Amino acid sequence: MRSIDLTASGRSWDAVWGTPHFTGALVLALALIGGCGRVSGVPSCARGIPSANEEEARRAIGACAELGPAAAGAIPALVERAGRADALSVVAFIALSRLGPAAVEPVKELRGHASPAVRSQAVATLVRLVEQRAMTRDSALIAALESTNDADEAVRSAVVSALAQLVGRASPDERARGEAALAAGLADPSARVRANAAAAYRLYSGSLPAAPQARLEQLLLDPDPQVRREAGQVFRTQATGSLPLPQEWGALPPQAATETLRQFGLQSATADSLAMAVKYADLLGVRLLLLAGVDPNEPVGLDGFKPLPPLHRAVLERDAHAARLLLAAGADPHKQDDLGRDALALAQTVQDPRIEALLHQR
């Protein structure tokens, strides 16, 4: 499993340092041509890390990072820089992740920093340390779990992101602890954390465990649109096409649906809104918009593409649950797109047997 909220993960050094001309090759050259000698065990590149000149500090941090574990003597300066919670804090954390096992304990200590931004980056850096083989997956998971109850939502969100990347190949005991924490994240007071926790289950292999499935079903009714979308994406990827939709979905009278739209972050009852709800797996949004009287057959073009009927869009997204809602609201399975394909022909093209079976019943 993986997550969508690790701030600097996956970015190139050029992107992080913000200077496209400043490549790793140049940094390494600077490091080797006298720029990173040693004085009393501390690489000379560390001298520029505290600099008030941002460009100078970037170069120094980059030079130490390129040296890797050989620059372990720069760890105190990098820790101090990471703790400033400024524009170079993330860069310093990335550099720490490349300095080997000696950086593990200093990074773990930064989880107790006064700044939530620093604590969040410290948690995220645990994953990078695992990627750099500086610490084991289990030890990183244990360290991340220690921040599960942080008072700040950004830190808890970072924890969920870290767990999503660590639990898959952890030992059985630690995996169980990590999965329990992820499931708890689905009930977090913060919508940001709930959305991140739901995203962690999107790539879950096999059937969802009972407890997370029940909580994810509840999140389909969440007041926050992003949370609903992430939960909907999970069920879009699940093998079953018979998700039991909550009974409340059928209990809302049409006249109340329009009033409820804004409560759930939906601005207007339009065909465009319905198309967006289908595209982003907002099943409650689909249901409310249909109850509010939006035509389930009106084609809409998104992102410059040719207009598609809502049912065709659900088929393309491989969303059997949205397709079932649209069909129940009167979507015409025989309506054709501009290429002359009805929904069944399109389902056969994308090879989704769940939707094919659903359409064969019509």
∠ CA 192-13-168, nearest 5°, is: 50
Q: What pLDDT digit, counting tens, does each position of 308-325 carry?
A: 999 999 999 999 889 999
Q: What pLDDT digit, counting tens, does each position of 262-299 carry?
A: 778 887 889 999 999 999 999 989 988 998 889 999 99
pLDDT at 305: 82
CATH topology classification for 248-360? 1.25.40
d(CA 248, CA 328): 16
Segments making up each domain of the chain, as ranges: 13-223, 248-360
Q: What pLDDT digit, counting tens, does each position of 69-113 carry?
A: 999 999 999 999 999 999 999 999 999 999 999 999 999 999 999
d(CA 150, CA 221): 26
Pick from 53-62, 73-82, 120-129, 217-226: least confident: 217-226
Distance set, CA 129 to CA 6, 33, 96, 189 (Å): 13, 28, 8, 29
Cα dihedral across residues 269, 272, 274, 277: positive or negative: negative
> At how many degrees (to 10) do helices 283-291 and 225-237 cross?
110
Phi-psi region of 318 (alpha: psi -120 to 50; beta: other; left: phi over 0): left
- pTM of the model as a whole: 0.76
The percent helix, strand, coil of the chain (3-state, each to 5) is: 60, 0, 35
Structural contact between residues 354 and 269, judged by C-beta atoms closer than 8 angstroms: no
CATH topology classification for 13-223? Leucine-rich Repeat Variant (1.25.10)
pLDDT at 259: 73
Structural contact between residues 163 and 178, judged by C-beta atoms closer than 8 angstroms: yes
More confident: 42 or 191: 191
pLDDT at 239: 55
361: pLDDT confidence band, cut at 50, 70 and 90? confident
pLDDT at 210: 78
pLDDT at 249: 60
d(CA 157, CA 345): 42
> Quick check: 12 pLDDT over 50?
no
Residue 33, helix vs strand vs coil: helix
pLDDT at 18: 44
Q: What pLDDT digit, counting tens, does each position of 155-173 carry?
A: 999 999 999 999 988 999 9
- 130, two tokens: 């695992």
Give 362's contacts (C-beta < 8 A, 6+ positions apart). Answer: 327, 333
Cα dihedral across residues 323, 326, 328, 331: positive or negative: negative
More confident: 242 or 286: 286
